[in-house]
Amino acid sequence: MVLPRIICAISGGVDSAVAALLLKRKGYHVLGIFMRNWDVRDEIGHCTVDEDVKYAKRVCSVLNIPFREVNLVKEYWSNVFMPTIEEYENGNTPNPDVLCNRHIKFDSLHKKCHRLFGDDNFIVATGHYAQTTFGERVLKENMQLEFEQQLLMSVDKNKDQTFFLHEVALKALLHTYFPVGHLHKTEVKEIAASSEVDFTLERKESMGICFIGKRNFSDFIQDYVPPKKGSFVCYETGRIMGEHSGYYKYTIGQRTGIGGLSDAYAVLHRDVVSGNVYVVHGMDHPALYCQSFITNPARWISGVPDSIKNGESFKCKFRFLHREPLVECEVIPFQDDGRLLVILQEPQRAITVGQNAVFYSGDQCLGGGRIDDLGPSTLECQERGQLNFTTFRKNPDRWRRLVNNYGEKLCPFPKSGLVYNSQATNKC
């Protein structure tokens, strides 16, 4: 049996550097590859890609492993950047990191490696904090597509990145290894500090997206989305609270900072037709909370769960933001095309269309789906038997039918004495 070639994706940061170091220490022959995903000619002084490649080359040099740069700018532009801009323009909140992992790091890079070597006998190692069921076995065996590789959370739950990896295809996972997934971040730094890649600790940890860089998000987005001024509108009274220069600069649940007002107002909805941004008074308003939503067709990493195949619901845990606590939920097959109705055990704040609902069973990341429509808010469930749906909901009739079917399970009515009194507390 011919052992697979081992390619380590080197970003110039400490995690990928230690990943390559650990592979080297175990005696593996490693090729370092740097992915150029963004063309600095598209920006002026905002992207660190040139600095990244210098550090990546230095990592490979001190570890005495070959270095190669691959250009994935076109693929990144088409599959990550433009879809992200389009989503913001449509009033949604996408996650570019999820798109980048699915389309670039675990698809385009793998295809590039196939073209370089003429076959699929290779493994791509990355510095992600994640694990798989086969672990290091993929470096020593030829993995077959029928093998059931599972994506598992890393040992360091605070750094776990399975949320961003939940759309990666099974075939790619069978050709992937995560050398630092069994370590805590502090251990990775300790390994780096006592090794020849200690210089990577000089760099600040990357927390953003290359094409945004160090800029404020609103400064970035206005360069790509046509300006559309509008009003801040009080959700409950319709009163005009102020003006803004673009709805796409705001995210659901964000404090608006309306000029001249000292009280806090949170974004509830962005109307892409009128350009208006609907707001509520206070950061904990019940209109910001909901307990159910519908997803687009889900992607399951290790195959569709048996319950879903049989048209049955199953219980698991869910999150829609990285590092947010996992929440108990029930996942119900909604349509034959793979859409899901998700009912949470407790209402969650600022769930947003366009974000990713990611499902877990124990330490296993099952997969997920993009949130497409939100169920009734806590405010809309205030009065038993009466759902006063908002005009911006996609399909109010569908939700009325679902509430009739699932009752308080989907729309829990508040206990006596806890009903929100808009007359007493509203300050719009």
Mind telling me the catalytic residues?
100, 210
Question: Which residue(s) pair with 359 in the sheet?
Answer: 318, 367
Neighbouring CB atoms inside 10 A of 84's CB total 23
**Residue-wise burial string across 2-37, b where 16 or more C-beta atoms lie within 10 A, e elsewhere:** eebbbbbbbbbbbbbbbbbbbbbeeebebbbbbbbb
Return d(Cα 246, Cα 223) in angstroms, integer. 12
- DSSP secondary structure letter of residue 40: G
- SS3 for 279? strand
Return d(Cα 353, Cα 146) in angstroms, integer. 34
Radius of gyration of the chain (CA): 24
Return d(Cα 127, Cα 11) in angstroms, integer. 9
Return d(Cα 258, Cα 18) in angstroms, integer. 46
